[in-house]
Structure 1
């Protein structure tokens, strides 16, 4: 299946610790695990419920929902709703489906709150720098080409009224890769809850949402150490009934003349970020919103990101590369998720 953008996912490790010696008479909910491919990555769902659940029908419902999201929001499907808007060569209002309207409205809200750092019109810049559907490049774009594209990038180039989306310039194109995967996680969680399942973990390419608990303990999630070519844990947390998203750039970049170009584009400069934050993790009730905030905080410089997170009570963990290794910056809202010794 084609993906939204060619971004290697930030993976999480779900830590399952089982308590042995339980009473044989105790009836434990049955564990179920589902998995598959979507959005250029994989999804996995783990939950606990009674044997009467029709697992096949439940997974079919989930995969139909994921297909719908791809058909609406993928930039890799030429006939998707999003691509039909992008290909529109006029400033006539475009009618959106309710899922697309919801996602775009939240992207605009977060974009305005961050001063344009989250900008869903940044798609042409992503393509220009070789991180979009057109494929990789090996050298930075010419200054003239960059200036031309920046002329039609910006949240002020689109407007949303009810379900009507309008572009001011026919060249405007939207990319929802900073938020659509999180929306997919939320939708799978809603399907589980509608089926009466309240103890679950949903993961799409590293964006997660957990609810309830395992039969013996809370869900535990390990945040990956941001080192290319290895799978190691930075820390383990118990997120509770929350979503978790991480943005990182240590696996998706290109180098030219000794300069490293990240896949994350700062709309303020039109160029890839160049600071030393290597990953940003956000906890939020909504995976869609956590997805957007994690990207925004990663694009910001570390101190700017921490100030923003504290201002808006966002639970965030930033990992910054130093000459000695890695250091962590933790927002005030993230403090409850640390161990008692670290608070």
Structure 2
């Protein structure tokens, strides 16, 4: 049973992971063992990093990348769970979300292989035959194993952080806690509301490079949110901003008028992957996709010097008064 917060204490726990930091703001009952909780939270995110990091040569993800085609690779259950979700969203988004974008990510200097674009690597990655990743990768759920049917370099950076947030939420629940806000980079999940019943207030960042400003505020309760954009990690090429997100259908970084996409979902893993998919898809294709999947999503579009909002679900324009 969750611990009640008759005498709640607001605590914030945090630590490093995945080249950034995780944090948990929690209304805790008096007497909560915060040292044990901190250790369990750190272990949860470290497990995700160990299994799914493309930056760690010995990660389970890289064991798949290094394995020959048609060879089964045993993988831990968490990685199998994330791969299953990634392939499902890849199929539903018709490749806008692609967990097989690793070669392009590296070629453009956003991955572990290099720190700047490499023209030869870009040509090779863009011209490689493209079996859709959800067809190129086979999962054996019962046997906890994976095999490739075509060459593919997997990269789960568009979903693994969201999954790590969900893992931290599970840790909090296992410790009997029911009022927390979990964050890792731009991915957040509210576990319940605050102890006084007020939803957690989460700032929606204004997508301006080099500036921390607020576009709006979201009220979260038992809900996750993730944002993908072009304003934190990007390249300037010929005066154009090229986001770190890859559109493998074009064989190039995303290049459209979307500054950011924010998605609400029950799990942060889902919110994280769908935010990436809708950023890549752009507002035209993405709006139809979000409506088909009943997603709650907000696009911020660049229109000259202005930002224009387009959304679905709670972000849709209000109906005119009768």
TM-score normalized by structure 2?
0.91
- Aligned match of 2:76: 97
Q: CA deviation at 1:156?
A: 2.3
Q: CA deviation at 1:136?
A: 2.4
Q: Could you list the per-position Cα deviations for residues 33-89 of structure 1 after superposition, in whole angstroms to 9, with x for gaps in the alignment?
A: 101101111011011121211000111011112111111111111111111111113
Partner Cα distance (2:120, 2:241) in 1: 14
Partner Cα distance (1:141, 1:226) in 2: 32
- Aligned match of 2:173: 193
Task: Answer yes or no: is the 8 Å Cα contact 1:314–1:333 preserved in 2.
Answer: no
1:87 is matched with which residue: 39, 44, 66?
66
- Aligned match of 2:233: 252
- Aligned match of 2:16: 37
- Aligned match of 2:294: 313
Partner Cα distance (1:135, 1:60) in 2: 33
Q: In structure 2, do the counterparts of structure 1 residues 66 and 259 end up closer, same or farther at CA, with 3 Å as the change threshold? A: same
Q: In structure 2, do the counterparts of structure 1 residues 147 and 208 end up closer, same or farther at CA, with 3 Å as the change threshold? A: closer
- Aligned match of 2:86: 107
- Aligned match of 2:306: 325
Q: In structure 2, do the counterparts of structure 1 residues 340 and 229 end up closer, same or farther at CA, with 3 Å as the change threshold? A: farther
1:241 is matched with which residue: 209, 219, 222?
222
Look up the SS of the partner of 2:211 in the other structure: coil
Task: Answer yes or no: is the 8 Å Cα contact 1:86–1:173 preserved in 2.
Answer: yes
Q: CA deviation at 1:148?
A: 4.1
The answer on 1:182 being equivalent to 2:162 is: yes
- Aligned match of 1:267: 248
Q: CA deviation at 1:233?
A: 0.4
The answer on 1:67 being equivalent to 2:56 is: no
Q: Could you list the per-position Cα deviations for residues 241-298 of structure 1 after superposition, in whole angstroms to 9, with x for gaps in the alignment?
A: 1000000111211123323322111111111111110100000000001000000000
Partner Cα distance (1:130, 1:329) in 2: 31
Look up the SS of the partner of 1:291 in the other structure: helix
Look up the SS of the partner of 2:264 in the other structure: strand
Q: In structure 2, do the counterparts of structure 1 residues 235 and 83 end up closer, same or farther at CA, with 3 Å as the change threshold? A: same
Q: In structure 2, do the counterparts of structure 1 residues 341 and 72 end up closer, same or farther at CA, with 3 Å as the change threshold? A: farther
1:230 is matched with which residue: 186, 207, 211?
211
Partner Cα distance (1:94, 1:140) in 2: 32
- Report how many aligned residue pairs link the two structures: 314
Partner Cα distance (2:302, 2:102) in 1: 28
- Aligned match of 1:12: none
TM-score normalized by structure 1?
0.86
Unaligned 5+ residue runs, structure 2? none
Task: Answer yes or no: is the 8 Å Cα contact 1:33–1:47 preserved in 2.
Answer: yes
- Indicate the RMSD between aligned Cα atoms, in angstroms: 2.3
Q: In structure 2, do the counterparts of structure 1 residues 339 and 191 end up closer, same or farther at CA, with 3 Å as the change threshold? A: farther
Partner Cα distance (1:267, 1:137) in 2: 19
Q: CA deviation at 1:141?
A: 4.9
Partner Cα distance (2:67, 2:281) in 1: 32
Q: CA deviation at 1:341?
A: 10
Partner Cα distance (2:277, 2:299) in 1: 12
Unaligned 5+ residue runs, structure 1? 1-25
- Aligned match of 2:98: 119
Q: In structure 2, do the counterparts of structure 1 residues 145 and 240 end up closer, same or farther at CA, with 3 Å as the change threshold? A: same
Partner Cα distance (1:75, 1:333) in 2: 35
Look up the SS of the partner of 1:301 in the other structure: helix
- Aligned match of 1:172: 152
Task: Answer yes or no: is the 8 Å Cα contact 1:43–1:203 preserved in 2.
Answer: yes
